[in-house]
């Protein structure tokens, strides 16, 4: 009973410490994001760079858009000519000829419009594709420390939601600016040749409209940016809740999960309400100014007709050109909305792209070839997030081809020690060498290709059994896959399934038992056949009978290879060439099973007590007692 109380108390303390660390990390990450705003010019330049591979199609799109604008600008001129010259002269034949020309022109415009709407969007889709490809490739290069501090849902939001509107922005953005400039400038120039005073009125109102758009831009931008953040939070909460649905149901915490989700959902609703408020102010303001422009032209233009400054044909042309003059402003209004929404997402995309991998190859990194597997730790010190050292001044030699077991309490640094060998993390000081080469001098690909890992927490991809085993060697033949499965003692089970090796395992392998998942993970390593093995409690999820079978397979696989074994059940590592007892203070003991038992130190106590306790409740889990 005392033992359970002690264990529970320790777990609560550890959980609190872990939560505090996670909260501190999250706060630091958010503060860094606020303080590291990228220059707008840099972001825009980065965005423009994605046009380069598709420049031919993009230019063709702009040419077609220019021709469409030219046809639109010609219509009021022709209308004015017909009403002023053709109709009064009674030249019906000429009028029908002009109508024929207009029909042909608008048929051409139909084809141009199709090209702009289809191929213009194709440019945007291709750019969005390129961005997602680059982001996913970049995520593959980031180290474990990055993923320790960033939630999966946030990354998914930046990968999908933040880039959703890039297609529209990439297509309509340059096109709207280009067309708006042409049509606005063309309309003003043509109108000024008709009546400069009325043109001045139009120009002043258009300037007011532009000023209104600019003043509302900053508030819209901030609102859309906040919406993006809230979407990321919802995605993160959703991903976490769905992944842990079995836990929440097991503890009947469905209402608690609903409250957590509803809180984020409410914040998203409020932020979106705010963004739509600014959008409504923007759109309604633009519409009102447009209406005032029409009223002004009718009122002032009507007065000019009354005073004989212009005739009815000029007024009609003015009214037609007003629509062409307002259209660019409306385009620009739509562009500002798309720009703020799209560039906010793109800015968040660039922020991730600017994260530099902590694990970086040297320019002159060499490939690890003809590996023997001699590993040496030289005064290695390491900590997570610059906190308390997990490993301090560790020096250790692991001879090639030997099996070395790491034992000790949780949190002692056993898994961390193993994670440093493939450079999932980099040492803070000291060095790790393989066959005399500092691992920081090696290419990551050649280093990790020579290391096989089976972890306690097995991850299977949503796919078939065969696909998951093939992860050890993607180009392996079916015969090699089957041989690996046999050596991992999973083949007979697979053959008993209706779809055999094509059986779908479910998300994270949920349709398989823990032992079955573990054996598939072991089969991966058999298939990879690396010279260095890291077995992080690789048989922990297996029953005793299966563990014996797998242990025999692992011992066979370990022959002639350098193998590091992290074991909870000390009986499984009795035959190791060397056993290292490690805790938070470093290496405590080292030797074979027989040597350590004869020493009658910490290892002997661990082996003797196991899961048992003495009259005071002291045992394996009460490490301080064993260390006395």
Residue 115 confidence (pLDDT) above 90: yes
Residue 462 confidence (pLDDT) above 50: yes
How does residue 12 score in pLDDT terms, banded at 50, 70 and 90?
very low
Q: Would you state the pLDDT for residue 368?
A: 86
Identify the residue with better confidence: 54 or 330.
Answer: 54
Q: Would you state the pLDDT for residue 367?
A: 87
Render 164-188 in DSSP notation, one character per residue.
Answer: TTHHHHHHHHHHHHHHHHHHHHHHH
How does residue 387 score in pLDDT terms, banded at 50, 70 and 90?
low
Count CA atoms within 13 Å of residue 300 on its CB side: 16
Q: Would you state the pLDDT for residue 615?
A: 41
Over residues 564-589, the mean pLDDT reads 82
User: Distance (Å, rounded) from C-alpha 41 to C-alpha 47?
Assistant: 10
Report which secondary-structure segment, H or E, holds 431: strand 429-434
Choices 3.40.50.300, 3.40.50.10320, 3.40.50.720, 3.20.20.220: CATH for 362-450+568-628: 3.40.50.300
Tens of pLDDT along 139-171?
Answer: 888 877 777 777 776 777 777 777 777 777 887
- Considering the entire predicted model, what is its pTM? 0.67
Q: Would you state the pLDDT for residue 598?
A: 86
| Domains 37-353 and 362-450+568-628 agree in fold | no
Q: Would you state the pLDDT for residue 252?
A: 66
Residues in Cβ contact with 407 at an 8 Å cutoff, skipping those fewer than 6 apart:
414, 566, 567, 570, 573, 579, 580, 581, 582, 603, 606
Q: Would you state the pLDDT for residue 340?
A: 74
Beta bridge partners of 619: 613
| Nearest partner of 422 among 358, 359, 357, judged by Cα | 359
User: Distance (Å, rounded) from C-alpha 90 to C-alpha 95?
Assistant: 9
Q: Would you state the pLDDT for residue 470?
A: 86
Over residues 309-322, the mean pLDDT reads 78
Q: Assign 385 to helix, strand or coil.
A: coil
Choices 1.10.510.10, 1.10.1670.10, 3.50.50.100, 1.20.1560.10: CATH for 37-353: 1.20.1560.10
**Rg of the chain taking only CA atoms, in angstroms:** 35
Among 74-78, 347-351, 433-437, the range with the most confident prediction by mean pLDDT is 433-437
Give the lowest-confidence range in 49-63, 201-215, 324-338, 483-497: 324-338
Give the lowest-confidence range in 142-146, 363-367, 402-406, 543-547: 543-547
Here the contacts of 349-353 (C-beta below 8 Å, separation 24 or greater) are 349/131, 349/135, 349/158, 349/162, 349/163, 350/38, 350/42, 350/43, 350/46, 351/33, 351/36, 351/38, 352/135, 352/138, 352/139, 352/155, 352/158, 353/46, 353/134, 353/135, 353/138
Give Cα separations from 394 to 379, 418, 532, 582, 586 (angstroms). Answer: 5, 12, 20, 10, 7
Identify the residue with better confidence: 319 or 433.
Answer: 433
Residues in Cβ contact with 47 at an 8 Å cutoff, skipping those fewer than 6 apart:
343, 346
User: Distance (Å, rounded) from C-alpha 46 to C-alpha 138?
Assistant: 15
Q: Would you state the pLDDT for residue 541?
A: 57
User: Distance (Å, rounded) from C-alpha 114 to C-alpha 434?
Assistant: 62
Residue 403 confidence (pLDDT) above 70: yes
Rounded to the nearest angstrom, the gap between the alpha carbon of residue 140 and the centroid of all alpha carbons in its chain is 10
**Domain ranges, ordered by start, for the chain:** 1-33, 37-353, 362-450+568-628
Among 44-48, 194-198, 583-587, the range with the most confident prediction by mean pLDDT is 44-48
Identify the residue with better confidence: 616 or 193.
Answer: 193
Residue 59 confidence (pLDDT) above 80: yes
Tens of pLDDT along 586-628?
Answer: 888 888 888 888 888 888 887 776 544 444 444 444 444 343 3
Average pLDDT, the chain: 78
For helices 312-353 and 152-159, angle between their N-to-C axes, nearest 10 degrees: 150
Contact between 530 and 559 under an 8 Å Cβ cutoff? The reply is no
């Amino acid at each position: 009973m005392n033992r359970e109380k002690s264990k529970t108390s320790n777990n609560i303390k550890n959980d609190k410490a872990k939560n505090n660390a996670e909260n501190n990390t999250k706060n630091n990450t958010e503060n860094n994001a606020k303080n590291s705003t990228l220059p707008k010019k840099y972001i825009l330049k980065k965005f423009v760079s994605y046009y380069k591979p598709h420049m031919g199609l993009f230019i063709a799109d702009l040419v077609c858009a220019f021709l469409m604008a030219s046809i639109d600008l010609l219509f009021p001129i022709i209308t004015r000519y017909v009403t002023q010259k053709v109709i009064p002269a009674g030249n019906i034949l000429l009028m029908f000829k002009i109508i024929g020309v207009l029909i042909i022109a608008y048929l051409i415009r139909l084809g141009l419009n199709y090209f702009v709407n289809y191929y213009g969007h194709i440019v945007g889709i291709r750019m969005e594709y390129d961005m997602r490809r680059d982001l996913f490739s970049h995520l593959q290069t980031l180290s474990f420390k990055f993923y320790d501090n960033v939630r999966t849902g946030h990354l998914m939001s930046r990968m999908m939601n933040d880039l959703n509107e890039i297609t529209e922005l990439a297509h309509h953005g340059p096109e709207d600016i280009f067309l708006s400039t042409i049509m606005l400038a063309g309309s003003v120039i043509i109108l000024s040749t008709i009546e400069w005073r009325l043109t001045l009125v139009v120009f002043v109102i258009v300037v007011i409209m532009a000023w209104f758009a600019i003043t509302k831009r900053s508030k819209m931008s901030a609102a859309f940016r906040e919406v993006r953040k809230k979407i990321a939070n919802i995605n993160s909460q959703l991903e976490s809740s769905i992944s842990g649905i079995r836990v929440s149901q097991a503890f009947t915490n469905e209402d608690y999960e609903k409250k957590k989700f509803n809180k984020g959902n409410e914040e998203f609703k409020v932020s979106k309400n705010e963004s739509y408020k600014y959008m409504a102010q923007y759109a309604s303001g633009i519409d009102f100014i447009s209406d005032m422009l029409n009223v002004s032209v009718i009122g002032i233009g009507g007065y000019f007709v009354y005073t004989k400054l212009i005739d009815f044909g000029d007024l009609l042309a003015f009214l037609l050109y007003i629509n062409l003059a307002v259209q660019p402003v409306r385009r620009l209004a739509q562009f500002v909305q798309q720009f703020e929404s799209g560039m906010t997402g793109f800015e968040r995309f660039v922020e991730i792209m600017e994260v530099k991998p902590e694990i970086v190859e040297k320019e002159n990194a060499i490939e690890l070839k003809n590996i023997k597997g001699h590993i040496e730790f030289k005064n290695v010190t390491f900590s997570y997030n610059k906190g308390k050292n997990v490993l301090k001044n560790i020096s250790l030699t692991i001879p090639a081809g030997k099996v070395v077991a790491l034992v000790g309490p949780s949190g002692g640094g056993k898994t961390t020690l193993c994670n440093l060998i493939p450079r999932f993390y980099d040492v803070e000081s000291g060095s790790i060498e393989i066959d005399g080469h500092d691992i920081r001098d090696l290419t990551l690909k050649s280093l990790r290709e020579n290391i096989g890992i089976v972890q306690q927490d097995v991850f299977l991809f949503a796919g078939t059994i065969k696909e998951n085993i093939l992860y050890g060697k993607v180009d392996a033949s079916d015969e090699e896959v089957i041989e690996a499965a046999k050596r991992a003692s999973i083949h007979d089970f697979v053959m008993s399934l209706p779809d055999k090796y094509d059986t779908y395992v479910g998300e994270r392998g949920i349709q398989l038992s823990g032992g079955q998942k573990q054996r598939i993970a072991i089969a991966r390593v058999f298939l990879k056949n690396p010279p260095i093995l890291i077995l992080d409690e690789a048989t922990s999820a297996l029953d005793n009978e299966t563990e014996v079978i797998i242990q025999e397979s692992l011992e066979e696989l370990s022959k002639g290879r350098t193998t590091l074994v992290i074991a909870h059940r000390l009986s499984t590592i009795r035959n190791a060439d060397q056993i290292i007892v490690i805790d938070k203070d470093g290496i405590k003991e080292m030797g074979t099973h027989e040597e350590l038992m004869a020493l009658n130190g910490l290892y002997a106590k661990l082996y003797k007590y196991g899961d048992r306790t003495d009259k005071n409740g002291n045992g394996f889990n009460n490490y301080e007692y064993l260390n006395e």
